[in-house]
């Protein structure tokens, strides 16, 4: 879970400081969160990881100015 959090922070910060790469990074980030959502049905660690990373993504999305409303609406 900590490794995924570190990866998420790296992705978010990279997309903030290198906005040209944002189009490649954001779909991958969304796919990661969608896969965790699927896994949380029968995996306790995936439940904790999903909610932790979703909360972190919501906080960081406001600073990087990208749209995650589709992720929130899917939940």
Sequential DSSP letters for 42-59:
T-HHHHHHHHHHHHHHHH
- Calpha distance 25→68 (Å, rounded): 13
pLDDT of residue 7: 74
Report the chain's mean pLDDT, rounded to a whole number. 79
Which range among 13-17, 21-25, 54-58 has the greatest average pLDDT? 54-58
| pTM across the whole model | 0.73
Q: Would 11 be classed as within a structural domain?
A: yes
Task: Of 20, 14, 49, give the one whose Cα is nearest residue 32.
Answer: 49
Could you give the CA distance from residue 47 to residue 65 in angstroms, rounded to a whole number?
A: 26
Residue 72 lies in a domain: no
Total tally of structural domains belonging to the chain: 1
On whether residue 36 sits in a domain, the answer given is yes
Residue 58 lies in a domain: yes
Domain span including residue 37: 2-66
More confident residue, 51 or 66: 51
- Residue 20 belongs to some domain of the structure: yes
Q: Answer yes or no: is 6 within a domain.
A: yes
């Amino acid at each position: 879970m900590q490794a995924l959090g570190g990866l998420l922070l790296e992705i978010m910060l990279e997309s903030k400081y290198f906005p040209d790469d944002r189009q490649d990074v954001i779909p991958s980030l969304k796919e990661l969160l969608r896969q965790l959502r699927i896994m949380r049905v029968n995996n306790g660690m995936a439940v904790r990881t999903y909610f932790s990373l979703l909360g972190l993504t919501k906080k960081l999305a406001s600073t990087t100015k990208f749209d995650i409303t589709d992720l929130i609406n899917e939940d």
